[in-house]
Copies of this chain bind each other. A is one copy, B any other.
Amino acid sequence: GRTGTPEVVYAAGKTPTQTVACLAALLDGGARPAWATRVDDATASAILERWPDAVVDQEARCAFVGGLPAPVGNVLVLTAGTSDGPVAAEVAATLAASGVGCTRVDDVGVAGVHRVLAVAPDLAAADAVVVVAGMDGALPSVVAGLTDRLVVAVPTSVGYGAAFEGLAALLTMLTACAPGVLVVNIDNGFGAGVAAARIVRSAQR
């Protein structure tokens, strides 16, 4: 697209038929890949029926038609807990669609800070860092203190009670004491992936 972001279909609230039609239009317009996020099972089936060689990423709920570009650069994607996986997978899928490489390390929540410290080599090797966390959302605060890379923080709606469906994690990330933390919407793996890809591309320019 004009803004350098891969064209994508947001399938939430669309019928399988509508999503297939949108993907077909993107393909007609030359998009490689044409892809969709927030794809449910029925939509995934419809896509695979139309394009048998489509790739469906079940964890990320994304589908790609037309092949993925070769990746350049490297974004480190961290999650605080197992339940943050689908959002991290959406980040990774967005990076893949953008032709950017990705290393993912899961379950490094701050309650086990030695596991966080163990990612130091990955931080040094990364062009940018995406941190995905729900509940207290404290992981970006710690990670940003360990690196001079930009940290894109994604609060998730994982948790209960005072987590208030991601609000607690969102406020934590916005008030993170370490500078260099930038925040996207709750569960917005797509937005974080687009941003990280831009950082990598700007580093490659």
Given A13-B158, A172-B138; A177-B145 close (CB under 8 Å): no
- A174 x B184 contact (CB < 8 A): yes
Known A160-B185, A187-B160: A111·B144 in contact at CB below 8 Å? yes
The reply to whether B157 and A161 form a contact with Cβ atoms under 8 Å apart is yes
Partner of A161, one of B110, B113, B148, B174: B174
Interface 1/0 per residue, A164-175 and B, CB below 8 Å: 101111111111
A172 engages B111 (CB within 8 Å): no
Interface range, A side: 35 or more
User: Is A31 engaged at the interface, CB distance under 8 Å to the other chain?
Assistant: no
A135 with B177: CB separation less than 8 A: yes
Q: How many copies does the complex hold?
A: 8
Given contacts A182-B182, A183-B182, contact A174 B145 (CB under 8 A): no
A80 is an interface residue with CB less than 8 A from chain B: yes
A136 to B164, CA, bound (A): 16
Q: Which residues of A contact B (CB under 8 A)?
A: 2-5, 12-14, 80-83, 109-113, 116-117, 127-128, 135-138, 141-142, 144-150, 152, 155, 157-164, 166-188, 190-191, 194-195, 198-199, 202-203, 205
The interface residues of chain B lying within 8 Å CB-to-CB of A159 are 175
- 4 tightest A-B contacts by CB? A161-B186, A4-B148, A111-B178, A182-B182
CA distance A123 to B161 in the complex (A): 28
Q: In the assembled complex, which residues on chain B have CB atoms less than 8 Å from the CB atom of A147?
A: 3
Question: In the complex, are the beta carbons of A110 and B127 less than 8 A apart?
Answer: no
A145 partner residues in chain B, CB cutoff 8 A: 3, 110-113
